[in-house]
């Protein structure tokens, strides 16, 4: 039985989703493009591991916890290369004359665009917002990009990248969609689908998935929306329940779901979960997620730190997972729901118990080593 929470201050919001795929360009692109063979053709390609955290599941009273570890993706330490490489590949098939790719990013996507552009023998210009850490900037520069830091927030940095790309005739490869800019973000989402396809052999029965709840961390929502597409297309109303996790300081999807329309985050403060520090949700991400998500939660930074430590110092025979702040957000969401009284009720409403099987994604490893060391030590 699902109830509805409408009390404004709650850090979670529960709804009964329609499980309907929207009828839009993004969905038709996701249905028609298969990025897996493209990725399999890349020299650096290798499916990332799926790790079972059996001891942790037992200790916190669950049936199973699986975590797909994207810290092994393409030596990039994050899943983002799946999207950028496929989108750039698609663009170059149509327009091989492109010389410079441009994007705005708070870290991982920019690094991925720089990496994919370099692999194709092209240049890249990456704009980053004011609060992007020096270590993340250096990681993007290492992939050959020209990085320009602006004294702006994420949304304004995206608008700047769009404007400058138009003026200079650079190709904008942005991982968030707005009206009139949907095709490239959809190609990026099609690229993300590869890691759900990698999971097919291990976690998906023919008629029903072998997991009950999937925790999805949200920045602009493109990645979570690609997961939502995967499950809705495959299982419809039999999909596992999808739960989104965002930082308190930047919860644009949470606020949008609560308001029933796409809005910028109501509060916007610094968060250590840099990859999730975004503005208004992606248009196509929002259209997909609002139909697919059963619960949206927002969590404090401290919970991400706790989850990073939990993954780094595992229980029993569980394998160590190296996780960055945004990477650990899925586990942080799970632990918060189970242990923090402010989230009381959600566990019962979602019927989480000793049989429940959970799927998490470690979407990044230690992408900022200095911050990682500080948190772990």
Ligand X SMILES: Cc1ncc(COP(=O)(O)O)c(C=O)c1O
DSSP summary character for residue 240: P
How far apart are CB 290 and ligand X at their closest, in Å?
A: 14
275 binds ligand X (CB under 6 A): yes
Which residues, numbered 277-306, are part of the site for ligand X (CB under 6 A)?
278
Which whole-number Å values give the CA distances from 269 to 130, 203, 221, 248, in the listed order?
Answer: 12, 37, 18, 8
User: Which is nearer to ligand X, 2 or 309 (by Cβ)?
Assistant: 309
109 binds ligand X (CB under 6 A): yes
Residue of the chain from 364, 368, 372, 375 that contacts ligand X (CB under 6 A):
364
Helix (H) or strand (E) holding 216: strand 213-217
CB 12 within 8 A of CB 297: yes
Structure tokens at 26: 């993004």
71 binds ligand X (CB under 6 A): no
Q: Which of 106, 155, 187, 318 is catalytic?
A: 106
DSSP summary character for residue 364: B
137 binds ligand X (CB under 6 A): no
Sheet holding 123-128, edge to edge: 146-149, 123-128, 100-104, 171-172
Beta bridge pairs of residue 50: 68
User: Which is nearer to ligand X, 50 or 55 (by Cβ)?
Assistant: 50
240 binds ligand X (CB under 6 A): no
How far apart are CB 101 and ligand X at their closest, in Å?
A: 17
Nearest residue to 27 (alpha-carbon basis) of 182, 252, 220: 182
89 binds ligand X (CB under 6 A): no
Nearest-10 crossing angle of helices 183-198, 25-32: 40
Q: Which of 68, 80, 290, 305 is catalytic?
A: 80
Beta bridge pairs of residue 65: 358
Segment interacting with ligand X (CB under 6 A) among 20-28, 221-229, 289-297, 347-355: 221-229
| Residue 106 annotated as catalytic | yes
360 binds ligand X (CB under 6 A): no
How far apart are CB 223 and ligand X at their closest, in Å?
A: 4
Residue of the chain from 220, 232, 272, 346 that contacts ligand X (CB under 6 A):
220
CB 43 within 8 A of CB 302: no
User: Which is nearer to ligand X, 129 or 221 (by Cβ)?
Assistant: 221
326 binds ligand X (CB under 6 A): yes
| Residue 212 annotated as catalytic | no
Contacts with 269 (C-beta within 8 Å, 6 or more apart), sequence order: 248, 249, 250
How far apart are CB 273 and ligand X at their closest, in Å?
A: 8
219 binds ligand X (CB under 6 A): yes
Residue of the chain from 81, 185, 191, 221 that contacts ligand X (CB under 6 A):
221
Handedness of CA 221, 137, 70, 298 (dihedral sign): negative
Contacts with 39 (C-beta within 8 Å, 6 or more apart), sequence order: 45, 82, 85, 86, 191, 194
Question: Which amino acids are annotated catalytic?
Answer: 80, 106
Chain residues in the site for ligand X (CB under 6 A): 78, 80, 108-109, 175, 217-224, 275-276, 278, 326-327, 363-364
């Amino acid at each position: 039985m699902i109830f509805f929470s409408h009390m404004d201050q709650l850090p979670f919001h529960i709804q009964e989703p329609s499980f309907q795929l929207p009828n839009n360009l993004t969905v038709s692109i996701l249905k028609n493009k298969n990025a897996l063979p493209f990725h399999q053709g890349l020299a650096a390609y290798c499916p990332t591991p799926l790790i079972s955290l059996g001891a942790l599941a037992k200790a916190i009273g669950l049936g199973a916890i699986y975590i797909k570890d994207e810290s092994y993706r393409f030596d990039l330490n994050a899943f983002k290369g799946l999207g950028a490489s496929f989108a750039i590949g698609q663009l170059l098939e149509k327009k091989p004359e492109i010389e410079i790719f441009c994007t705005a990013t708070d870290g991982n996507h920019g690094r991925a665009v720089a990496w994919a552009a370099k692999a194709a023998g092209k240049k890249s210009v990456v704009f980053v917002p004011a609060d992007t850490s020096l270590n993340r900037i250096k990681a993007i520069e290492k992939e050959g990009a020209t990085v320009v830091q602006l004294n702006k927030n994420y949304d304004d940095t995206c608008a700047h990248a769009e404007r400058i790309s138009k003026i200079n005739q650079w190709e904008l490869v942005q991982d968030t969609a707005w009206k009139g800019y949907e095709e490239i973000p959809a190609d990026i989402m099609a690229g993300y689908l590869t890691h759900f396809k990698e999971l097919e052999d291990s976690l998906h029965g023919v008629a029903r998935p072998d997991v009950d709840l999937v925790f999805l961390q949200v920045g602009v929502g493109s990645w979570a929306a690609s997961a939502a597409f995967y499950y809705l297309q495959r299982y419809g109303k039999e999909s596992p329940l999808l739960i989104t996790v965002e930082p308190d300081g930047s919860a644009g999807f949470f606020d949008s779901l609560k308001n029933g329309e796409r809005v910028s985050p109501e509060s916007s403060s610094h968060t250590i979960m840099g990859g999730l520090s975004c503005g208004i949700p992606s248009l196509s991400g929002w259209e997909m997620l609002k139909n697919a998500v059963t619960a949206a939660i927002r969590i404090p930074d401290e919970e991400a730190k706790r989850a990073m430590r939990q993954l780094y110092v595992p229980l029993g025979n569980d394998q160590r997972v190296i996780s960055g702040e945004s990477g650990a957000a899925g586990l942080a969401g799970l632990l918060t729901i189970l242990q923090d009284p402010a989230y009381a009720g959600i566990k019962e409403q979602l019927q989480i118990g000793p049989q429940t099987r959970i799927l998490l994604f470690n979407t990044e490893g230690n992408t900022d080593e200095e911050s990682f060391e500080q948190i772990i030590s």
